[in-house]
A and B are shown apart, each in its own frame.
Chain A
Amino acid sequence: MIELALISVLVMIGAALAVVFVRGLMAAVAAAAVVSLALSVLFAVLRAPDVALAEAAVGAGLSGVLLALTLRRVGLWPGSPSGDGDRE
């Protein structure tokens, strides 16, 4: 149990570092989804299965889609209409 929590926390912190410091917003959005997935594993370890399900569905699914659609709308997604790459 503690091993699973430790691994999840390490993955979560690593992905959060990637969200903050990686260049390219597409990679940052993907890392944010990884943070949510590791967090939902932690919720399951903490005996909160309902919260884990909600976090997995909402955090990794809905938030990722919202962020990706926004990036496409503002032209930061590669291949989008006014696309100038995903660099800041």
Chain B
Amino acid sequence: MTDAMLLAEALGDVLYTGAIGLILLGLYAMVVPRHLVRIVLGLLLVQSGVNLFLVAVGYRPEAAAPILLGGQAIGPVVDPLPQALVLTAIVIGVGVLALALALVVRVKDVHGTLDSREVAERMAAETGDSRLMPETAPGRGAAVPAREMLEDRS
């Protein structure tokens, strides 16, 4: 195994680690925080991680960028298909982000808060639909029984 191949493998490891780390961090940001803007930021991180993963899949060591200059053949190039699709995904991602942020603004206008648990509680109180009530979990929600609340504060 030559030196260049070892370097290429190390580059692949670094890139895949970065992409998967980004996806996991974004997933955490979408699930654990309750602030809606933080959830949208998590969506952005997952999206970036998937884009990086796809472009890294199409990468070949010792290959040129897939751009033809003057119509002549230029030897081996990296896979252009994931790059074209990721370019599309980036643009679609901006649309998704804009839609999510518009929904965030609307939630703020209607409910006056950006805490997803509080929003769910208000909707449950207004409609009388107990299925909208958040599950009892440690936190400052009204759905938490008094005893658990005391333990949580201590």
Chain A residues with a Cβ under 8 A of chain B: 1-2, 5-6, 9, 12-13, 16-17, 19-20, 25, 28-29, 32, 35-36, 39, 42-43, 46-51, 54-55, 58-59, 62-63, 66-67, 70-71, 73-76, 88
Apart from the given pairs A6-B14, A39-B51, 15 other A-B contacts in the complex at a CB distance below 8 Å? A2-B7, A2-B11, A9-B18, A16-B26, A19-B25, A20-B42, A25-B37, A32-B45, A36-B48, A39-B48, A43-B52, A51-B86, A67-B37, A74-B114, A76-B37
Cross-chain contact A1 with B21 (CB below 8 angstroms): no
Convert B12-23 into 0s and 1s, putting 1 for each residue whose CB lies closer than 8 angstroms to a CB of A. 001101100110
Cross-chain contact A32 with B44 (CB below 8 angstroms): yes
Q: Which residues of A contact B21 (CB under 8 A)?
A: 13, 16
Q: Which residues of A contact B42 (CB under 8 A)?
A: 20
How many residues belonging to B are interface residues under a CB distance threshold of 8 Å?
A: 50
- Taking a contact as CB atoms closer than 8 A, the residue among A1, A50, A66, A73 that contacts B83 in the complex is A50
Interface centre among B11, B42, B56, B93 (most CB of A within 10 A): B11
CB distance from B106 to the nearest CB of A (A): 10
Cross-chain contact B14 with A9 (CB below 8 angstroms): yes
- How many inter-chain contacts with C-beta < 8 Å in the A-B complex? 131
Cross-chain contact B45 with A71 (CB below 8 angstroms): no
Cross-chain contact A39 with B52 (CB below 8 angstroms): yes
Q: How would you classify the secondary structure of chain B's contact residues: helix, strand, loop or mixed?
A: helix
The reply on B104 being an interface residue by CB < 8 A is yes
Chain B residues with a Cβ under 8 A of chain A: 7, 10-11, 14-15, 17-18, 21-22, 25-26, 28-29, 33, 35, 37-38, 40-42, 44-45, 48, 51-52, 55-56, 58-59, 63-67, 77-78, 83, 86-87, 90-91, 93-94, 97-98, 101, 104-105, 108, 114
- Taking a contact as CB atoms closer than 8 A, the residue among B63, B91, B108 that contacts A58 in the complex is B91
**In the docked arrangement, what's the CA distance between A35 and B41, Å?**
11
Cross-chain contact B14 with A5 (CB below 8 angstroms): yes
**In the docked arrangement, what's the CA distance between A73 and B37, Å?**
12
Given contacts A16-B25, A76-B37, A88-B38, contact A67 B51 (CB under 8 A): no
- Taking a contact as CB atoms closer than 8 A, the residue among A25, A46, A66 that contacts B97 in the complex is A66
